[in-house]
Amino acid sequence: MVNLDTLEKVEVFRNLDDRRLSALSECCTEMVVQRGEGLFKAGEEAGHLWAVVEGRIKLVAEPDSTLQEHGVSETQIFGWPSLLRSPIYRFSASCDARSAKLIRMDSRCLQALFEKDPELGYNVMSGLLRVLGERFHQLQEEVVKRRGQDMMNQW
C-alpha cells in the first residue's frame, strides 16, 4: 500500500479520484534504493511499472552514447513495457542519486484492475501514451539536431 497523496502525484495517475487511487495502491509497494543499485536489466521480462518519488534513476540502453541514456526524476514513471504488448525492459535501470524512493507497481495486478475497471485502464493508458509521446518527441528533437549537423558537415 502506498499513501494516496504520493500516488496522485505520479504523472499517469493525475486527476484520478480517491476510490481509484486506493484500488491502484493495492498493486504498489514503496522501496528505497542506494546510489548505483540496479533495479532491472535490459532484456529482462518487464513485471513492474515504476515511479520516482524522490531522487533520480538512470536508464541506459548501451554504454558510451548520450542518446542511449535517460534520467527519470520525481513523479515520472519508467518501465513502461510492463503494460504494453511486448513486456521486455529495453533499458537497464539504476539509482543515480545518493538514494531514491520509488513506487514499484505489479503489472499483472494493474492489468487485472484495468480489465475490471476499463475506464481506469483507459485513463491510465491515455496518460502513458502522453508520457511516451512526449519522450518520443524529445528523442526526435535530439535525432533531428544530430542529423542536421551531419548534413551540414557533409556540405
Partner 1 sequence: MAGRDGVVKADVFDGLEEEQLASLREGFQELTYRKGDRIFQEGDEAHHLWIVKEGQVDMGFELPGRTASEVYALLSVPAGKAFGWSSFVPPHKYRLSSYCSSPICTVLRLEREFLLGWFERDPALGYRVMVNLASVVAERFNRLQGSATAVPYARVRITVHLATCGIAAGAREVVNALVEEMAEEDRPHIKMQTSGCIGRCSTEPNVTVQIEGAEPVIYQKMNGEKMRRVFREHVLKGVAQSEWVLS
Maximum alpha-carbon separation in the chain: 60
Under rule CB under 8 A, residue 134 binds partner 1? yes
Among 15, 17, 63, 150, binds partner 1 (CB under 8 A): 150
CA distance 91 to 16: 29
| Interface of this chain with partner 1, residues 20 to 49, rule: CB under 8 A | none
Q: In angstroms, what CA-CA distances link 150 with 80, 136, 141, 146?
A: 32, 21, 14, 6
Check binding of 19 to partner 1 (CB under 8 A). no
Shortest Å, Cβ 54 to partner 1: 26
| Span from 29-37, 47-55, 98-106, 117-125 in contact with partner 1 (CB under 8 A) | 117-125
- Give the C-alpha separation, 20 to 119, whole Å: 10
Shortest Cβ 13–partner 1 spacing (Å): 15
Q: Does 90 bind partner 1 (CB under 8 A)?
A: yes
Question: Helix 107-116 vs helix 18-25: angle between axes, to the nearest 10 degrees?
Answer: 140
- For residue 134, the minimal CB distance to partner 1 (Å) is 7
Residues that bind partner 1 (CB under 8 A): 61-62, 65, 67-68, 80-81, 83-86, 90, 114, 118-119, 121-122, 125-126, 128-130, 132-137, 139-140, 142-144, 146-148, 150-151
